[in-house]
Amino acid sequence: MSENVKFSIAKFDGKDFAIWKKQITILLKSKGLEILLEFNPENEEDTKLDYQVQTILLNALSPDIAQKIINCKTASETWTRLLSVYENASQSSVDRLFEEFYSYRMDSGTDIATHISKVESLAIMLEQLKHPQSDNAIMTKILMSLPESFLGFRRASDSVHPDFKTKDELVARLMREECDLKNRTGGETAYTSTSRSQNIAELKKRTKCNKCGIIGHWARECRSKVRRQPTQQDEDNVALISTTSNAPDTDSWVIDSGATKHTCNRHEWFKNYESINESIEVADRQCIKAIGQGTVVLNTSVNGRKVKMYLNNVLHAPGISRNLFSIGAAAKRGAIFDFNEQKCVIKVESVVKAIAKYDPLSRLYILDAKVIIPVSMIAITNRDIGQWHEALGHTDSNVIERMARERIVNGLEIVKNSQKCEACGSGKATRASHPTMDNKIDEIGTIDMDLIGKLSVTGLRNEQYAVLMKDRFSHFTG
């Protein structure tokens, strides 16, 4: 019966290798030939079977792809060549795939089935590159990448019982929500055909908004209207940077799937700091400046033990409300995120490195960590002039006073004056030699004298100076 089943596999043209690989693997397993993808034939019977596998592979490849494996002698060699070309597990491929996974968003012209299939396909490709994603991570990605029309569904998902938070249950509920949304809106607001969406997008590019006068959107979509008449729903829809702007704790780290880099608002937390000039677009379409970047060291708490975590290439943005821990940046370095309704566990090579707890008030995951402030950044700015004189390498006191008076250096405050530096008097003193004399006129009765001091070590009678006298005629010294 199974021998009569007809298999139809589209020719592989360089795209969707994961799907094509799955089809070929299932076909060969149904015929009991998959072993020849890993081992070369050892006898004549195996050679005949190997030719069958090569025939199946060649018939499932386009001419351009077949040209790349034309010199392969066996099915195993052919399969290895295809894997090396189209399933490259290099770090650049992993980085590109992680970036695509975390930046993917569902388009308005896409249905739920296609959306879920896209997310799962990206997860399968990551798994093939030895970066598997948990079911919780996949479900979180499916929910977070939904359009605004599913905002109510996303909020309702927070109250679902943990026993029903499975991928199959999520897919079923999304399908029902899609049907209900189409019925409520007449099938136009939630989804339109691809061509209709493209036509609307082109029309918006030529239409001026009646509210703000800017080309690119319509009046009912204008954000200026929302700013003038804010509602509770509008406040819930604002981005992370707006939601947390009134929060008192600006030192916390928030898990963010939209940020491409870690972002920090405290300059004193950085080490290896370098100045830059970049713009960061936040969720309310505003831009804030990033003035530097460097390394921030966190001390995370994992089940009562402290774990040190280094965040590299962290942007310094003083205008941001809370510090952002980028999922994308961490995932590129091998981190795996496991979300549930209470916390997010961050693992690197199967070792738990940090835990972020869910905050129901802000609906954010807050990292349980403290920053290790670099010692070089801890300084006392209120000193007397003697302390500043020593700290600045024995710079002239008049120069230091002028720097403080004219505010040339930020934070240079002089609380009081102090005594003169004795070390400078000793260290900067020079020794002068007596000039040579060519004649000996009036040597009788002439005495040369040399005063030495102030001495660092006093004499028996507390003398601090010494006088050397020498008679020029008799050379008597005393």
Mean pLDDT for the chain overall = 78
pLDDT at 264: 92
- pLDDT tens sequence across 174-207: 888 888 877 766 544 444 444 445 556 666 665 6
Please answer whether residues 279 and 289 qualify as being in contact, where contact means their C-beta atoms are separated by less than 8 angstroms: yes
128 or 377: which leads in pLDDT: 128
- pLDDT tens sequence across 34-44: 888 888 888 88
pLDDT band for position 244 (cuts 50, 70, 90): very low
- pLDDT tens sequence across 54-91: 888 888 888 888 888 888 888 888 888 888 777 665 56
Question: pLDDT at residue 226 above 60?
Answer: no
pLDDT at 380: 54
Question: pLDDT at residue 8 above 70?
Answer: yes
pLDDT at 240: 44
pLDDT at 7: 67
Mean pLDDT of 347-368: 88
- pLDDT tens sequence across 257-309: 878 889 998 888 998 889 888 887 765 556 788 999 999 999 998 888 888 99
pLDDT at 108: 73
Longest CA–CA span in the chain (Å) reads 138
pLDDT at 386: 80
pLDDT at 232: 43
pLDDT at 236: 38
Question: pLDDT at residue 399 above 80?
Answer: yes
Query: What is the SS3 string spanning the chain?
Result: CHHHCCCCCCCECCCCHHHHHHHHHHHHHHHCCHHHHCCCCCCHHHHHHHHHHHHHHHHCECHHHHHHHCCCCCHHHHHHHHHHHHCCCCHHHHHHHHHHHHHCCCCCCCCHHHHHHHHHHHHHHHHHCCCCCCHHHHHHHHHHCCCHHHHHHHHHHCCCCHHHCCHHHHHHHHHHHHHHHHHHHCCCCCCCCHHHHHHHHHHHHHCECCCCCCECCCHHHCHHHHHHCCCHHHHHHCCHHHHCCCCCCCCCEEEECCCCCCEECCHHHEEEEEEEEEEEECCCCCEEEEEEEEEEEEEEEECCEEEEEEEEEEEECCCCCCEEEEHHHHHHCCEEEEECCCEEEEEECCEEEEEEEEECCCCEEEECEEECCCHHHCCCCEECHHHHHHHCCCCCHHHHHHHHHCCCCCCCEECCCCCCCHHHHHHCCCCCCCCCCCCCCCCCCCEEEEEEECCCCCCCCCCCEEEEEEECCCCCEC
pLDDT at 441: 55
Please answer whether residues 127 and 101 qualify as being in contact, where contact means their C-beta atoms are separated by less than 8 angstroms: no
- pLDDT tens sequence across 300-343: 988 888 889 999 999 999 888 889 999 988 988 889 998 888 88
pLDDT at 9: 81
103 or 187: which leads in pLDDT: 103
pLDDT band for position 230 (cuts 50, 70, 90): very low
In one-letter notation, the amino acid at residue 127 is E
pLDDT at 315: 92
What CA–CA distance (Å, rounded) separates 353 from 307?
A: 6
pLDDT at 233: 39
Question: pLDDT at residue 255 above 70?
Answer: yes
For tokens 């020794």, the residue is 431
pLDDT at 195: 44
